[in-house]
Amino acid sequence: MTTSSESGAPEGGAEVIEALKPPVGEEALRHREVVEGEFWKRIPAYADVDTETFLSHTWQARNSINKPKKLLKTLQDMVPQSFYDDVAEGFRRAPMSVRVSPSLMSLINWNAAYEDPIRKQFIPVASRCLPDHPKLGLDSLGEQADAPVPGLTHRYHDKALFLPLNTCPVYCRFCTRSYAIGPNTDQVEKASLRVNKERWAKAFAYIQSRPELEDIVISGGDAYQLRPEQIEYIGMTLVEMPNIRRLRFATKGLAIMPQKVLSDPEWLDAITKVVERGRKLHKEVVIHTHFNHPDEFTWISREATNKLMERGIIVRNQAVLQRGVNDTVDTMSLLVRRLGYYNVQPYYVYTHDMVKGVEDLRTTVSTAIMLEKFVRGSTAGFNTPTFVCDAPGGGGKRDVHSFEHYDRVTGISVYTAPAVKPGQVFMYFDPIHLLPAEGRARWADPAQHELMVQEALDDARANAVG
Ligand SMILES: *Cc1c(COP(=O)(O)O)cnc(C)c1O
Ligand code: SF4
């Protein structure tokens, strides 16, 4: 240890403080820096788009990409023809419809389109597709099985998930609700969860009839797509129910089209009204959003979250852990710190649901455990997300660490959920291509499948508490 007399520095506290904590470089403050300026202008179709136009949510919606032809018109010669062909085939095979906002299009690095974390989430390319895991199903979370009314899932004791509609401002390739969200595709015919006042009325009647329900997640689809009067109608109906104490409007909008918060005052006022009514009634009304990568947060997101802060609206984030998107310590830490800095509380990071057609995006439970170790301690505890696995089959969200069994060779983890479905066990399966050779070999042999599952269940039952 260096003392001040040895180093010849003047006596005083400053020297001691410096010895304990060396000064930080710019690198350590990187989470504060976000994309500034007219970043969209490098996209050929947006070269002449001014800030006012780019901030218009109607312009964003009108110019969203939903067909390969429109992609070509937007990007022109930024990517080679081979890429367009790959995308066209990707569109044909995808279980989800495609819709990408200009806001997102402008954030993709088209010179490295295959590796780009935002491209990977929204634009399917056939050449990177991997076969689905043999244990994967279309409604992997069993949301329809736990639904007393179509579009209302009552799984947990005191909270329920209400899906008032089935459209979103963008469609994520990896959507858990590909069973219902968006128009039918070549691959999937969707369960119908359209805007329908009668279906809503049934959901409200059910919610009112269950005194244990205190907490409603209004998701979808995406609350961004609800008209202001619909936001108010749903929000006020629920917030006035004596049993209801907490409401969350779930929208990926803030992440993929923050423009709306700035250019659709009627929508924002409708949300604000519900929040304020809630405050009067001592009930919490918040927004839950969905940023997955730190680059998704631009100056426009900052303006939007500032506006929500000014109105006293709490925003929390639920991210999905995805391979090649946010599965490194560096990217996940940056995401968590950037969100926290701009008043978006990182709430959850989910291991990827077992969704069709996105095996390239899934990663392992062990990756989630590793990342959590590095993220925890890097910032405020209340801005540190819980890493969860939404247990396939309807077990609900479980802390990834709480498995009764986890075998990194077979990739099988087993969870129990004593407060949700006592006595049952739930399994999650790591993607096969990330397993060690021994595990891949066992999955290559169908005769081994049930054996692996049985081994996992036997071990889990021996360990399980509850
Ligand atoms: C995620 C979810 C909720 C809310 O759960 P929290 O852990 O409180 O965020 C409620 N119902 C269903 C069906 C869900 O999937
Ligand atoms: S915004 Fe949400 S509901 Fe809509 S496609 Fe994406 S993940 Fe699915």
318: Cβ below 6 Å to ligand 1? Answer: no
pLDDT of residue 6 exceeding 70, the answer is no
For the record, the structure tokens of 466 come out as 């509850």
CA of residue 185 to ligand 1 center, whole Å: 27
Which atom number of ligand 1 is nearest to the Cα of residue 347?
9
**For residue range 137-169, what is the model confidence (pLDDT) as tens digits?**
767 677 788 899 989 999 999 999 999 998 899
Q: How far apart are CA 192 and CA 166, in angstroms?
A: 8
**Mean pLDDT value across residues 329-339:** 98
Contact 206, 152 (CB under 8 A): yes
Q: How does pLDDT run across 256-280, given as a tens digit for each residue?
A: 999 999 999 999 999 999 999 999 9
* Number of the ligand closest to the Cα of 355: 2
Q: Which ligand is nearest to the CA of 320?
A: 2
Cβ of 154 less than 6 Å from ligand 1: no
CB-based contact 141:392 (threshold 8 Å): yes
Question: For a substitution probing ligand 2, which of 163, 166, 168 has the most ligand atoms within 8 Å of its CB?
Answer: 168
Q: What is the pTM of this model?
A: 0.93
Q: What is the pLDDT of residue 416?
A: 95
> Which ligand gives the minimal distance to the CA of 157?
1
What does the block give as tokens for 361? 């995006």
Ligand nearest to the CA of 182: 2
pLDDT value of position 8: 46
Check if 133 has its Cβ closer than 6 Å to any atom of ligand 1.
no
Taking CA atoms only, the protein residue closest to ligand 1 atom 6 is 397
Chain centre distance of CA 282: 28
Over the stretch 211-260, which tens digit does the pLDDT of each residue have?
999 999 999 789 999 999 999 999 999 999 999 999 999 999 999 999 99
Tokens of 414: 């087993």
Single-letter residue type at 173: R
Residue bearing the bigger pLDDT, 101 or 194: 101
Distance from C-alpha of 361 to C-alpha of 353, rounded to nearest angstrom: 10
User: What is the per-residue pLDDT for 360?
Assistant: 95
Nearest-10 crossing angle of helices 446-463, 437-444: 120
Number of residues that this document lists for the chain: 466
Q: Which ligand is nearest to the CA of 253?
A: 2
Which residues have any ligand 2 atom within 6 Å of their CB? 168, 171-172, 175, 177, 181, 220-222, 252
- Which residue ranges form the domains of the chain, and what is each CATH number? 39-128 (no CATH), 144-400 (3.20.20.70), 403-466 (no CATH)
How many angstroms separate the alpha carbon of residue 368 from the centre of ligand 1? 19
C-alpha span between 404 and 383 (Å, rounded): 27
Kindly report the average pLDDT of the chain as a whole number. 92
Q: What is the distance between the alpha carbons of residues 39 and 46, in angstroms, rounded to a whole number?
A: 10
Atom of ligand 2 nearest to the CA of 178: 8
Ligand 2 atom closest to residue 251's alpha carbon, by position in its atom list: 1
Q: Confirm or reject: Cβ of 397 under 6 Å from ligand 1.
A: yes
Distance 162 CA to ligand 2 centre (A): 14
| 366: DSSP letter | H
Q: How far is the CA of 26 from the centre of ligand 1 (A)?
A: 38
Q: CB 446: neighbour CB atoms within 10 A? A: 8
Q: Of the residues 144, 248, 397, which should be mutated to test ligand 1's pocket, given the most ligand atoms within 8 Å of the CB?
A: 397
Residues 6+ apart with CB under 8 A from 351: 321, 362, 363, 364, 365, 368, 387, 388, 389, 390, 400, 428
Q: Which residue has the higher pLDDT, 196 or 281?
A: 281
Residue nearest to atom 14 of ligand 1 (CA): 161
